[in-house]
Structure formats: C-alpha cells, structure tokens
Amino acid sequence: MMPGEPSRTALAAATHRAVHQLIEHGDIFTDPLAVPILAADPAALVADAEAHPGRRPMRFFIAARHRIAEDAVAAAAAAGVGQLVVLGAGLDTQAYRSPRGAAMTIYEVDHPATQAWKRARLSQAAIPIPSWLRFVAVDFETEILADRLRAAGFDPARRAIFVWLGVVPYLTQAAIFATLDYVAGLPGGAEIVFDYADPPAAWPDAMRPMLEARAAHVASLGEAWISYFDAASLAERLRASGFTRIEDLGPADLGTRFRPLGPPALRNKGGHVVRAA
C-alpha cells in the first residue's frame, strides 16, 4: 500500500461487489449495502463494467469468495459461534447488515489508513455503526494481531470464525503464516476462510497475459501481488499449523458451484477459496 493511504484494491473489490448487484442482481452474493457504501452513480458503475468485459471473471470470483465466507459465518453462528473477525475488511459490509445482533461480536481488522477511510465513507453514506462492531487497526506486516484483538475484547478461549478475503496475495509469507498459525492455535478453536492464487507459472499460457496485466495494475497502485501458493504445499503447511479440516475450492469447483469463471480452457488454474478449521 502507498504509505499513509487507504488500499486502492479495497475500492476495486467493493466496486466488483456493487456491480454484481447491479448487473447480475447479486445472484451469487447478495449485498444490499454494496452500492450505498460506494456512494457512486450506479449507471456509471454499470457503464464502466460493461466497457470492460474482461473484468467479469474477477467479479464472479469476488462474489463467490464472499458468498462462501458469509455461508460459513451463517453456519458458525447457527452452531453458537459468537465472534467473527474480518481481517483486511476493506469495504466489506457484513457487520452493518448482520442479522445476529449482539449474539455475534464482529471485529473489523484493517490497515489503519484503510480503516480511517472506510469510517469516513460509512459516515458519508449514512450507514450506522452497529453496537456489535469493534474496529481494530493493525498492520499485518509490523504488528501483532493477537495483542490488538485482545485489547479490543476478543476472547481467545471462545470459538471464533475469521474471514480474510483478497488480502493474502499482498502479504509476505511471514505475515501470512503468523496469522494462520495464530488462528490455528487459538485455545477456543477457530475456522478461517481465505483466498489465494496459483503461482503464475502454473497458469495456462492463454491466461498469463490477463494475469500479468492485472498484476502490473495492482503493483502500480502500490499493492503488488507477492504471495502465491500451490494447493498441495499450502494444505501441508496448514496441517503443520494445526488445521485439521481443510477444504480448498479451486476454479473448477467454484465454476461448478456458482458460474464458470472463464472459458473452459482457462478454468484449471486461478483463484482458490479455502475453509480451514
């Protein structure tokens, strides 16, 4: 991220979610606050998306990862889990439309600059801050998540669910595994939903130009993709952290469950969504 500035990719991800409501009517992931939090002209959002049809696979991936995460949160809540931690929350809106009220305390963790920008946007969009929400400002690269969460009231002895979407590719492996090891080691037990991408060398040749263009774009925003994973090695590393239930949904699984994320030849590598407990 650019020093002292909010995440630009957080705005991009939120724009994909808003456009998904406007063009696909939220058929993968429904979020009635996705458009209001942007405070943008819906017609302009649609016109821009339609002028760039190459963005569709990313939009569907972002909708799919959010749907998987929010389904996991609903299942956890139904099982009595009362703590949700949204890591690198960006403009995620689930805290503001949570149907669970005080039964689930939600911790929104983000880089201080992004969090300050989000709070200004919430105020501008007149979206109230619910009583069950706690803001926790953390830089994953330099600060200890455990300390910040505890200071905000998080109870490590009670079961929790963590959602970490669109963040892992931007972090160093040290920061990624510090967080995953912490979640796996929580004494109350925990589940995490996060996403990652296959290493570029594994992507089909036909996809590489798109990947390289996207990677160059995010790097130009000061948010380069620096961490990729191979599914088998990541699963092994997660087991070493202490996770025992690991579900990794790759592009083909996501395409079967939701909507193909591109033409058939391009569906074997790309983004994955992991649920690990």
- Closest approach of ligand SAM to the CB of residue 11, in Å: 8
Cα distance between residue 226 and residue 209, in whole Å: 17
Does 141 sit near ligand SAM (CB under 6 A)?
yes
In a 10 Å sphere around its CB, with 0-12 CB exposed, 13-18 middle and 19+ buried, how is residue 229 labelled?
Answer: buried
- Closest approach of ligand SAM to the CB of residue 9, in Å: 4
Q: Which is nearer to ligand SAM, 22 or 268 (CB)?
A: 22
Does 93 sit near ligand SAM (CB under 6 A)?
no
Stretch that binds ligand SAM, among 89-97, 229-237, 253-261, 262-270 (CB under 6 A): 89-97
Q: Mask of contacts with ligand SAM, 161-200, x by CB under 6 A?
A: ----xxx--x------------------------------
Neighbours of 132 (CB within 10 A): 17
Cα distance between residue 6 and residue 113, in whole Å: 5
**Footprint (CB under 6 A) of ligand SAM, residues 5-24:** 7, 9-10, 13-14
Which of residues 59, 111, 121, 272 is near ligand SAM by CB under 6 A? 111
Q: Which is nearer to ligand SAM, 40 or 189 (CB)?
A: 40
Residues interacting with ligand SAM, by CB under 6 A?
A: 1, 7, 9-10, 13-14, 88-92, 110-111, 114, 138-141, 165-167, 170
